């Protein structure tokens, strides 16, 4: 799991005990990660900001009654994932109310998120730049096409570097299901890049 998520003290436990510093440090370090997380799930920039605020406010409000069970990162991502599910449901209900087609798989499949549209960053050598950008674009497109349950497992396991047990805890599914979803997600992404998946 990412180092920034493993602070010495559980941010919510510290907040409950009257020390706001770990929570403040967590907000500052985790905001970009949550923005990217929601962006990859299919949220627009404004929607992602809204969701990130909701997640932190929810965490802050639960602090007085918080009891530490397992890793804090898993708990935080569970709150984030529930926020995303609520948003997708709300979006679906609004679309139904307006008589518009509801996107399947949770996220708007045809819509590109701010993150998806963002150019690839980092230092690139001139010769390999184009090929790398193409590969990155294919990977982003493939990730956007993954079913949401596969995308979430991939996001938490590969990009947030959470162990399988924490993913299972976050998504409230058995570890075996995490294993199977991860395998399918990786296979589909590798196939999109033209790698040998046999």
Partner 1 sequence: MKEHPMNDQEGKDESAERDADLLESILNGEPMRDDARVEARRLELEAFLATCRETFAGDEEVDRIGARRLAGRILARTTREDLSWRGDIGLMVRYVKSRFADSAALRVAAAVLLVHFVVAPSVLAYYVFVKPEPDLWIKYEQRGELPYALEVEEPPLEIEFRPLDDDDEPR
Which of 8, 69, 121, 127 touches partner 1 (CB under 8 A)? 121
Q: Is the dihedral of CA 188, 193, 194, 198 positive or negative?
A: negative
Of 66, 105, 98, 81, the C-alpha closest to 156 is 81
Q: Is 195 in the site for partner 1 (CB under 8 A)?
A: yes
Q: Is 46 in the site for partner 1 (CB under 8 A)?
A: no
Which of 6, 28, 86, 191 touches partner 1 (CB under 8 A)? 28
Alpha-carbon span 150 to 171, nearest angstrom: 11
Task: Return the number of the residue (76 or 189) whose C-beta is nearest partner 1.
Answer: 189
Of 3, 46, 47, 49, the C-alpha closest to 25 is 3
Q: Is 123 in the site for partner 1 (CB under 8 A)?
A: no
Q: Is 81 in the site for partner 1 (CB under 8 A)?
A: no
The tally of CA atoms less than 13 A away on the side-chain side of residue 100 is: 10
Which of 42, 83, 106, 157 touches partner 1 (CB under 8 A)? 157
Task: Find the part of the chain contacting partner 1 (CB under 8 A) among 35-43, 64-72, 74-82, 100-108.
Answer: 35-43
State the number of binding residues for partner 1 (CB under 8 A): 48
Task: Return the number of the residue (37 or 108) whose C-beta is nearest partner 1.
Answer: 37
**End-to-end CA, the chain:** 29
> Nearest approach, Cβ of 78 to partner 1 (angstroms)?
18
Interface with partner 1 by CB under 8 A: which residues? 15, 20, 23-24, 27-28, 31-33, 35-36, 39-40, 45, 49, 52-53, 56-57, 60, 114-115, 118, 120-122, 135-136, 139-140, 143, 157-159, 161, 163-164, 179-180, 182-183, 186-187, 189-190, 193, 195, 198
């Amino acid at each position: 799991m990412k180092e920034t998520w493993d602070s010495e003290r559980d941010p919510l436990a510290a907040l409950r005990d009257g020390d706001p510093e770990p929570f403040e440090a967590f907000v500052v370090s985790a905001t970009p990660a949550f923005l990217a997380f929601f962006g990859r799930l299919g949220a627009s920039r404004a929607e992602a900001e809204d969701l990130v605020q909701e997640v932190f406010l929810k965490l802050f409000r639960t602090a007085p009654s918080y009891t530490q069970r397992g890793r804090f990162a898993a708990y935080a991502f569970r709150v984030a994932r529930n926020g995303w599910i609520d948003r997708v449901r709300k979006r679906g209900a609004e679309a139904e109310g307006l008589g518009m087609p509801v996107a399947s798989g949770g996220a708007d499949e045809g819509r590109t998120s701010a993150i998806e549209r963002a150019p690839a960053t980092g230092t690139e050598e001139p010769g390999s730049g184009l090929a790398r950008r193409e590969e990155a674009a294919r990977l982003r497109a493939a990730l956007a096409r993954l079913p949401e349950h596969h995308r979430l497992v991939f996001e938490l396991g590969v990009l947030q570097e959470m162990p399988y047990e924490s993913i299972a805890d976050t998504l409230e599914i058995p570890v075996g299901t995490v294993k199977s979803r991860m395998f399918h997600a990786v296979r589909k992404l590798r196939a999109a890049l033209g790698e040998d998946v046999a």
